[in-house]
Amino acid sequence: MRRSFAAGCLVMSATMLVACAGSSTDQGASTGVSTMASPVTSARPTASVQVAVPPPPLQTGAKPVRFDPCVSVGDDLVTRTGFDPATRERYTAESVSSVLTEIGCQFWRETLVDGEKYPTGLVSVTSSDLTLDDIRKNPGHSIFNSDPIGGRDTVLYRTPQSDNACSAAIKSSDGTFRVGLLVHPGPVAVPSACDQIRQVAETFSESLGTN
């Protein structure tokens, strides 16, 4: 059922939120992620991660994004948000360019209905070199809350073209730590993405430590 829920790939970048999503079985073919990666650091060196994913794309800029949520967000945090750590996969819209560098992972939430799994959510957890000011000034973002999370400056925002998605951008040493949440109507009733985003972001932000 993931395929029907995610026809395309989820592109919830800090600059634009576009409806698209690829199933985990299609991940390897769709990302084009390099097997070479620039060094990354972990705020939680003891984070337990059972599913190994490829390294992030190679970064060649003077100031690479060093915090990789794929290795720093532990399975414990994923489980606490209600998502399945076994579905860990690299974010389908990872980007390394002179305009934007954004790396991270995404996770699925599924519910069993009449013997069949239905996706009830897809969350991306990424680190980028965009600043909060970049996000605030983007005309495609509708900011609805600016209360800090974990003592860090934060903006919660939606995009008009995607009613079922919401994002949280939290200030970090790289620029921003972003949590993007997508829900979809189906046989299982779930709260809207914007009703869930703060609680989900608060949990994932624990991975930042001093970053």
pLDDT in tens, 149-199: 999 999 999 988 888 999 999 999 999 999 999 998 788 889 999 999 999
| Domain limits for position 7 | 2-22+51-208
Domain count, the chain: 1
106 lies in a domain?
yes
**What is the arithmetic mean of pLDDT over 99-108?**
96
pLDDT digits (tens, 9 = 90+) for 50-77: 999 999 999 987 889 999 999 999 999 9
pLDDT, one tens digit per residue, over 12-38 is 444 443 334 343 334 433 333 333 444
> Is residue 40 included in any domain, yes or no?
no
Q: Is residue 34 part of a domain?
A: no
| Cα within 13 Å of Cα(76), Cβ side | 8
CA distance 15 to 5: 23
In the predicted structure, residue 47 carries a pLDDT above the cut 60: yes
Dihedral (Cα; 137, 90, 109, 136), 10-degree rounding:
-10
pLDDT at residue 39 in the model: 47
Has residue 188 been placed in a domain? yes
Question: Could you give the CA distance from residue 188 to residue 48 in angstroms, rounded to a whole number?
Answer: 30
Which tokens sit at 203? 């949990």
